[in-house]
Structure 1
Amino acid sequence: MILAIDIGNTNIVVGCIDENEIYFTERLSTVRTKTELEYAVDLKTILDIYHIKKTEIEGCIISSVVPQITNIAKLAVEKILKKKVMVLGPGIKTGLNILMDNPGQLGADLVADAVAASNNYPAPLIVIDMGTATTVSVLNDKKQYIGGMILPGVGLSLDALTSRASQLGGIGIEAPKHLIGKNTTECMKSGIIYSSAASLDGIVERIEEELGTEATVVATGGLAKKIIPYCKKKITLDEELLLKGLLIIYEKNNK
């Protein structure tokens, strides 16, 4: 069993995983002012809740898109496990062939997503990760990472809508009773949910046109389960995709 941690702009996903099972996944808020000790306490609390002893954990791998927290989290884990922590980045073998202008610019989370998708689903692949931003990764029929898209996340879109329109109060991201809203709240919920779903449908359709073939579409991320059920395209929801990718990368570097 390993401890896998993904540090995103809004949340930190923590999970314990091995080849046979995902023992748990939890989310912490990404707080840039927290100290090493505070993150260590958070992580130890999670392990205690799930009755996982540090002796049961072989090691840890971290992916991060928040550089100022990466080393703090690494030191926090090492404080608890007393073991060296792997950080996904330069020098780490992933097995992923990245055909980008600057492969080093590709986020660690997208690398982990793509590695997991290419190991679990048939190519070509479109991988959607719905977090603070919504990212779309495209792998061709040779499972090479050829590019993608970045667009505002669902939460960002909702925040922008409510902050700029004084009569529109804050709402949650859940489907309304009616597609055609009967009140302001329903109208906002419908607009956010169905515009996001329609956007993904359109993006998938256009990418498939450029590829010249249909693709396997996989979605992950904290907000995916809110939107994917309302898409018309066939999209597989895999909420643990990133953790699976981190496990594959960890094992590839510890043979």
Structure 2
Amino acid sequence: MILAIDIGNTNIVIGCIDDPEKYSSGCVFVERLSTVRTKTELEYAIDIKNVLDIYHIKKTELEGGIISSVVPQITTIVKLAVEKILKKEVLVVGAGIKTGLNIRIDNPAQLGSDLVVDSVAGIAEYPVPLLIFDMGTANTVCVIDKNKNYIGGMIYPGVGVSLDSLTAHASQLGGISLEAPEHIIGKNTVDCMKSGTIYSAAAAIDGLIDRLTDELGGKATVIATGGLAKKIIPHCRRKIILDDNLLLKGLAVIYRKNRRER
């Protein structure tokens, strides 16, 4: 069993990955912690150990760990925290780690580790070409061509960021929860905000799929993942596969590839 951790700007996703024959997705569990840049190595170790204890996972059951991070300030802190628990070296996706992904962009070194991992998982599990939407603090799109090459993508503000900006700059609009209203045409301010936020995000994804598949020159498998995907994807009109555990599964693929080659 592998401990896989994805450090995002808002949440840290933690999961244990085991034999897919035992668990439908290979994921024994998936949980989220808040990303706190001021926490110490010990504080993160306690948080992670508590999650493992809740699911009755013993450190002797874990053969190792792997981390993907877009928050450089705490990557090493979390790595040391995990190593404190496992008493084993933990891999971090980045320089020196073999992913098997053929990256065809201007500067491959600029590609975020989360996008690399999403793409590795997508190629391993789904037919190409692929469009992978990862919906978090930022929304990202990975584009994989029919030859399994990463050829580029998109980055744009996430739903939460857009909503925060709206409420911060419009004095009469307060914060709302992200649940779809009963009707798309809102009858009050809160429902209007919910409808506008959710359906505009869904329509944007539908429109992007149309434009991206036009540029690819044909149909593509479309996958969505990330903390906010469940809120938006059900309201899209295009066929989209929702895979909450995509990134963790990608970390497992990369872990096994590097362990085999060492």
**Common topology (TM > 0.5):** yes
| Alignment pair present for 1:92 and 2:92 | no
SS at match of 1:114: helix
Q: Structure 1: which amino acid aligns with 2:74?
A: I
Select which of 46, 49, 66 maps to 2:51: 46
In 2: Cα distance, 1:47 partner to 1:61 partner: 15
- Which residue in the other structure is 1:77 paired with? 82
Select which of 244, 248, 252 maps to 2:253: 248
CA shift at 1:31, angstroms? 0.4
In 2: Cα distance, 1:157 partner to 1:247 partner: 32
In 2: Cα distance, 1:19 partner to 1:189 partner: 40
SS at match of 1:51: coil
CA offset digits 1:183-233 (Å, max 9, x no partner): 000000000000000000000100001111010000000000100000011
Q: Counterparts in 2 of 1:88-127, with a 5 A limit? A: 88-127=93-132
CA shift at 1:174, angstroms? 1.1
In 2: Cα distance, 1:158 partner to 1:214 partner: 32
- Which residue in the other structure is 2:157 paired with? 152
Q: Over the residues paired in the alignment, what is the CA RMSD in angstroms? A: 0.5
- Which residue in the other structure is 2:12 paired with? 12
Select which of 227, 232, 236 maps to 1:231: 236
Identity %: 71
- Which residue in the other structure is 1:219 paired with? 224
In 1: Cα distance, 2:219 partner to 2:28 partner: 34
Give the alignment's TM-score, normalised by structure 2: 0.97
In 2: Cα distance, 1:233 partner to 1:191 partner: 19
Listed as ranges, the gaps of 5+ residues in structure 1 are none
CA offset digits 1:73-97 (Å, max 9, x no partner): 0000011110000000011110100
Select which of 149, 166, 175 maps to 2:171: 166
SS at match of 2:106: coil
In 1: Cα distance, 2:19 partner to 2:114 partner: 20
**Alignment coverage as a number of residue pairs:** 255
Listed as ranges, the gaps of 5+ residues in structure 2 are 21-25
In 2: Cα distance, 1:236 partner to 1:44 partner: 32
SS at match of 1:193: helix
Runs of 4+ aligned residues of structure 1 deviating over 4 Å after TM superposition are none
In 2: Cα distance, 1:16 partner to 1:51 partner: 11
Select which of 26, 36, 39 maps to 1:34: 39
Q: Structure 2: which amino acid aligns with 1:154?
A: V
CA shift at 1:177, angstroms? 1.0
In 2: Cα distance, 1:104 partner to 1:175 partner: 39
In 2: Cα distance, 1:102 partner to 1:191 partner: 36
